[in-house]
Chain A
Amino acid sequence: MKHNVYIYIFIMAAVTYLIRTLPLTLIRKDIKNKFIRSFLHYVPYVTLSAMTFPAIITATQSPVSGAVGLVVAVVLALFDRSLFTVATAACGAVFLCELFIR
């Protein structure tokens, strides 16, 4: 590894903290620009979606168990289950599924 891990950590912590804190400390009025507001509004959904699929399929020992975990999570999320419930149920589904596959 030619780069220093602590420099990486410092950079990511600094960038992330500034993102979180600058608007809170500097902006005291509403953002009026509709495009920026809208863009920031869609960002979390796009980012999290891109990170979830197809990664969830390749994170497990078999694509089938990953797919089962995905379906279980989506169904529970459709019924507005909590973060904790959805995450643990997906884990449980993958675990059970892999018991049968192997």
Chain B
Amino acid sequence: MKRKVFFKGIKDGIPIALGYLAVSFTLGIAARKVGLGAFAATLMSFTNNTSAGEFAALSLIGAGSSYAEMALTQFVINARYMLMSCSLSQKIPKETPIWKRMLLGYCITDEVFGVSYAYPGKLDTLYSYGAMLLPAVGWSLGTFLGVVLGNVLPQRILSALGVALYGMFIAIIVPPAKKNKVIAGSVIVSMAMSWAFSVTPVLKNISSGFTIIIITLVVAGAAALIFPVEEEAADEA
């Protein structure tokens, strides 16, 4: 019975792992560009498992930013995991021991959280461990291959693979935006602000990490003030 739950997780993790493999390959290429070796880049992916956070980290490393800026950027970009973590704390049985909760923390990525939250009834943490197994391998392996093979592939293919991550982001933001006008508005305003920051003389000198922090605080803060979310809606997202 226990084994069945674990293997169900593994099965649901297969498509996630394939997606991660493609995206982390481009992450590996980006890591190589800022001077990271295969070991450092793979270690980063194995210990972080966060596409947005790692890409932002690479630009900070490339720019030689301070450690404080790195910590703050990771905190803001990955703050969404806090909400997921809060949601999952309600989804697992109360008596779940702390070591199982700590291991479950490692499994909170956008996609593995998604399938875990969709698990019927109370969540058996074994399911999430199974669902995270292949994606974690795929994410680290893809990063490694990206660093090692990145320069073997022609520029045209690299250019095409470079948009895989953005395609994945779009796949995450568009479906909820379709159903919710506030999210749709937030998406459009955020993109417009991000574009404005990239072309306005003084603003474009601000590092990309801080630009994202500023936009997130302003837009998500304003949306939360003007359109507070009812409990039910927040649980579903």
Chain A residues within 8 Å of B2, by CB: none
A31 to B, closest residue via Cβ? B86
Q: Are A5 and B111 interface neighbours, CB within 8 A? A: no
Chain A residues within 8 Å of B175, by CB: 77-78, 80
Where chain B touches its partner, the secondary structure class is helix
A24-B89, A45-B173, A87-B167 known; A34+B228 contact, CB < 8 A = yes
Chain A residues within 8 Å of B79, by CB: 19, 40, 43
Chain A residues within 8 Å of B215, by CB: 46-47, 50
Decide if B206 is an interface residue (CB 8 Å cutoff). Answer: no
Q: How far is the CA of A53 from the CA of B191 in the complex (A)?
A: 5
Q: Are A49 and B194 interface neighbours, CB within 8 A? A: yes
Q: In B96-111, which residues have CB < 8 Å from any A CB?
A: 98, 101-102, 104-106, 108, 110-111
Q: In B138-190, which residues have CB < 8 Å from any A CB?
A: 155-157, 159-178, 182-183, 186-188, 190
Q: In A1-46, which residues have CB < 8 Å from any B CB?
A: 1-3, 5-9, 11-13, 15-17, 19-25, 27-28, 30-31, 34-35, 37-46
Chain A residues within 8 Å of B52, by CB: 47-48, 51
Q: Are B169 and A40 interface neighbours, CB within 8 A? A: no
Can you identify 9 A-B contacts, CB atoms within 8 angstroms? A3-B66, A23-B85, A42-B220, A50-B191, A50-B193, A51-B169, A52-B191, A55-B166, A77-B175
| Chain A contacts to B: CB under 8 angstroms | 1-3, 5-9, 11-13, 15-17, 19-25, 27-28, 30-31, 34-35, 37-56, 59-61, 65-66, 69-70, 73-74, 76-78, 80-92, 94-95, 98-99, 102
| Chain B contacts to A: CB under 8 angstroms | 15-16, 18-19, 22-23, 35-36, 40, 43-44, 47-50, 52-57, 60-61, 64-67, 70-71, 74-86, 88-90, 94, 98, 101-102, 104-106, 108, 110-111, 155-157, 159-178, 182-183, 186-188, 190-191, 193-195, 198, 211-212, 215-216, 219-221, 223-225, 227-229, 231, 233-234, 237
